[in-house]
């Protein structure tokens, strides 16, 4: 597994005149914010439910909000984009190059799924037989090419599928999918089933969480290590995100040194986004280590530090006033556990719970659970 990838996830827009186009207005603010980032982000992702009622004018407003966006846009449909029982309006209103099935980006095979058009509408999520076959072939190709780490983008968690969800999540686990990015929930959540990390970002327009601020998530995968942070719309630059080693909550390959390092020298890798950001520093064990630029990856910095003993340790990277902090598990190689088959893969029972510095509140809300007006 090689390479680093970073994308911006702007949660379900639900573009609608009824709320005075709240979602597209916030999307436009994200585009303005990202103008301060000259390098280091690979694309902008919209996770479906882009339009609230699958109407042409709603897609027109979304495209207008993206008029000054400089990043590639990639998207998938959600159940609201299928509201009239077809994806005709979604396809007509969304440029074709925004909605691929497969795209190789920065050493990763990114797979974009439609889990709505094989269903009966609403939250009847299903993966059609033809798309399931294409997915299996694409994941098999990734397995044959170890240089391409697979990533999946779908509107909801596999456990939300009406049929075949566990089999789909097992396929992801067996194929080494590092991260599955989703929308639909209207709240922030991360799941880790021991093989694959799943992320959901709150809706841009229909926020379910009490105290949940509007914003967007920044997702990275580096040598198979996923990292996820949430940025409020009013957050200042720079943005610091530790790419490696993994936070203990997101470890999926306990034998891999980027997930669980052994005592001794450990490489720390971070992405620092924003024009004019100060050179970052690693702080560990009461000592500071300067980081140096990675010539092969934009906005990426590295430092080799010493972690002398096993245990759970706090590590942070700072650039000016910006900081990212993780907990790193350090363990002798001989103590790495053997892994059994995944249990309930892709299911919400594997939620990592609250992580308040990441704007994860551990809530179990969403449009199908808490009786919201949507």
Q: Which residues contact 65 (CB under 8 A, 6 or more apart)?
A: 24, 25, 27, 28, 31
How many helices and strands (H and E) does the chain possess?
A: 5, 19
Q: Is the pLDDT of residue 88 over 50?
A: yes
Can you tell me the distance from the alpha carbon of 61 to that of 36, in angstroms, rounded to the nearest whole number? 23
pLDDT band at 172 (very low <50, low <70, confident <90, very high): very high
pLDDT of residue 342: 83
| 44 membership: H or E segment, kind and range | strand 43-46
Question: pLDDT tens for residues 108-165?
Answer: 999 999 999 999 999 999 999 999 999 999 999 877 656 799 999 999 999 999 999 9
Q: Is the pLDDT of residue 232 over 70?
A: yes
pLDDT of residue 211: 85
Can you tell me the distance from the alpha carbon of 256 to that of 88, in angstroms, rounded to the nearest whole number? 45
- Nearest by Cα to 273 from 317, 226, 213, 224: 317
Tokens encoding 258: 């980027």
pLDDT of residue 339: 76
Q: Are 196 and 179 in contact (CB under 8 A)?
A: yes
Region 249-277: mean pLDDT is: 96
pLDDT band at 336 (very low <50, low <70, confident <90, very high): confident
pLDDT of residue 117: 97
Specify the pTM. Answer: 0.96
Q: Which domains does the chain have, with CATH numbers?
A: 4-236+341-356 (3.60.21.10), 248-335 (2.60.40.1590)
Region 249-276: mean pLDDT is: 96
């Amino acid at each position: 597994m090689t390479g680093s990838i970073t994308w911006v996830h702007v949660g379900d827009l639900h573009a609608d005149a009824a709320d005075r186009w709240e979602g597209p207005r916030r999307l436009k603010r994200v585009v303005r914010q990202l103008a301060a980032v000259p390098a280091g982000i690979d694309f902008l992702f919209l996770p479906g439910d882009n339009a609230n009622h699958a109407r042409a004018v709603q897609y027109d407003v979304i495209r207008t909000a993206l008029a000054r966006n400089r990043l590639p846009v990639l998207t998938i449909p959600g159940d609201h984009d299928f509201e009239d029982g077809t994806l005709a309006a979604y396809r007509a209103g969304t440029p074709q190059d925004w909605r691929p099935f497969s795209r190789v980006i920065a050493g990763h095979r990114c797979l974009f799924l439609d889990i709505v058009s094989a269903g009966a509408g609403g939250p009847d999520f299903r993966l059609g037989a033809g798309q399931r076959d294409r997915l299996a072939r694409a994941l098999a190709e990734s397995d044959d090419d170890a240089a391409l780490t697979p990533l999946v983008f779908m509107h909801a968690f596999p456990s939300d599928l009406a049929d075949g969800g566990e089999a789909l999540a097992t396929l992801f686990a067996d194929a080494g999918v590092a991260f599955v990015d989703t929308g639909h929930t209207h709240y922030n959540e991360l799941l880790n089933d021991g093989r694959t990390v799943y992320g959901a970002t709150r809706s841009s327009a229909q926020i379910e969480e009490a105290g949940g601020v509007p914003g967007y998530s920044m997702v990275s995968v580096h040598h198979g290590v996923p990292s996820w942070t949430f940025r409020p719309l009013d957050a200042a630059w720079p943005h610091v995100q530790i790419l490696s080693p993994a936070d203990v909550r997101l470890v999926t390959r306990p034998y891999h040194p980027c997930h669980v390092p052994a005592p001794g020298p450990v490489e720390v890798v971070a992405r620092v986004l924003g024009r004019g950001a100060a050179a970052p520093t690693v702080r560990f064990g009461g000592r500071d280590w300067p980081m140096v630029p990675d010539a092969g990856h934009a906005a990426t910095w590295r430092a080799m530090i010493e972690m002398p003993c096993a245990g759970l340790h706090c590590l942070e990277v700072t650039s000016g006033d910006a900081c990212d902090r993780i907990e790193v598990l350090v363990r002798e190689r001989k103590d790495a556990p053997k892994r059994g088959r995944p249990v309930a893969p892709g299911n919400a029972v594997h939620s990592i719970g609250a992580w308040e510095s990441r704007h994860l509140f551990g809530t179990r809300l969403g449009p199908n659970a808490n009786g919201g007006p949507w």
